Amino acid sequence: MTTNKQQPRIVVEQQFFTFAEPPNQMLLESGARLGPVTIAYETYGQLNTNRDNVILITHAFSGDSHVSGYLPGDGEDAKPGWWDSLVGPGKGIDSNRYFVICSNILGSCMGSTGPASINPKTKKPFGLDFPMVTIGDMVDAQKALMDHLQISSLLTVVGGSVGGMQVLEWCVRYPEMVRSAVPLATTMRHSALAIAFNEVARQSIMADPNWNRGDYYGKEGPDLGLAIARMIGHVTYLSDEAMRQKFGRRLQDKRDFSFGFDADFQVESYLRYQGSKFVRRFDANSLLYITKAADYFDLVDKQTTRESLHDLAEDAIKFLVISYSSDWLYPTYHARELVQSLKRSGQDVSFCEIEANCGHDAFLIPDERLSNLISGFLEGVPND
């Protein structure tokens, strides 16, 4: 007989690490220097005596370090972290066994240094004075955090979407630290389609008169442009089938059309709600910077001087590559190209396409199949 025993409420605390104090600022890929840099992060579980049971989770573009559990002061009706179904005691990423770290990316607005942070030179928010950052810069900042925590070996790095890009960048930049990697719903580089959607989102923000070339802090911000950008992005995260099942052509609290520009359809109302909700928690400039970093990401083009996955031949990393059947932002053929590239460099690669009709965001939805895949994969990762 099963019981509905309520799980204990896991409370975690956001922590902060600051480095790159002047004159030792962080050197970015663009050649610019940035400092001081603050990284927000959370940890789950206990570090073992060998300091080798570490799992680094990398989040998607608008995510944060709060991957699981609850923060102090969260009310009873608060939602847990964004991957609470996967991370925690006895779950797919078991915090009873592993020491789990998730940090907020450089350029974000969820605790780490980004365009909304105070520029030490002007004592005002950076705005567009914030230097352009790349996925590689984000990973370098995470590496500085690992050094601070005295961690030199990562059991695995796992993340989806832009988080998956960070996973791959970790393998390229610091392969000696990474024993295994789980990139989900991601790509080695953006397609023209993905770049196009990001550009439309950016233009919607920059066309908002309240954007004021990024100098809107303390004033009315580009809320309409940011909301539209989120609406555009949200369409790419779903699938045709998911939208058909969830909305179809059903009307929103009406029996007939308005014969105007109200939100007649449920899907219109849903997108407007998602846009307005996003405005309350995210910074428009951060969206500009992070989407541009994702567009710049490229581990295929050998015409550049940057590292690529072809350079992994001498480093043994165990990979689990996961895609979703209905993901049209990063379709399964992107994952297959990644698998082929890894195999050519001699890596130990497993691949799974999960059947799901939810679209790109499927990796964020509770799924026992994903938990079982990752927990089984971790069991097979050899000790140092």
Q: Are residues 304 and 320 in the same domain?
A: yes
CATH number of residue 213's parent domain: 1.10.1740.110
**Are 66 and 7 contacting, i.e. CB atoms less than 8 angstroms apart?**
no
Q: How confident is the model at residue 43 (pLDDT cuts 50, 70, 90)?
A: very high
- The number of folded domains in the chain is 2
Judge if 353 and 326 occupy the same domain: yes
183 and 219 share a domain? no
Q: Which helix (H) or strand (E) covers residue 102, if one does?
A: strand 99-103
Residue in 161, 180, 308, 323 annotated catalytic: 161
Confidence check: pLDDT of 183 > 70:
yes
Q: Is 327 a catalytic residue?
A: yes
Is residue 360 flagged as an active site residue? yes
Which of 256, 272, 290 marks a domain boundary? 290
Q: Residues for the chain: how many in total?
A: 384
Residue 245 sits in which domain range?
A: 196-290
In a domain, 231, yes or no: yes
- pLDDT attached to residue 313: 61
Exactly one of 64, 140, 283, 327 is catalytic; which is it? 327
Per-residue pLDDT tens over the stretch 213-229: 999 999 999 999 999 99
Torsion of CA 355, 360, 366, 371, to 10 degrees: 60
| pLDDT, tens only, 231-265 | 999 999 999 999 999 999 999 887 889 888 989 99
Compute the distance between CA of residue 234 and CA of residue 232 in angstroms, rounded to an integer.
Answer: 6
161: annotated active-site residue:
yes
Residues 47 and 151 in one domain: yes
Query: Measured between alpha carbons, how far is residue 180 from residues 187, 227, 251, 340 in Å?
Result: 17, 37, 48, 17
* Candidates 59, 66, 334, 360; catalytic one: 360
Contacts of 247 (CB under 8 A, 6+ apart): 265, 266, 267, 270
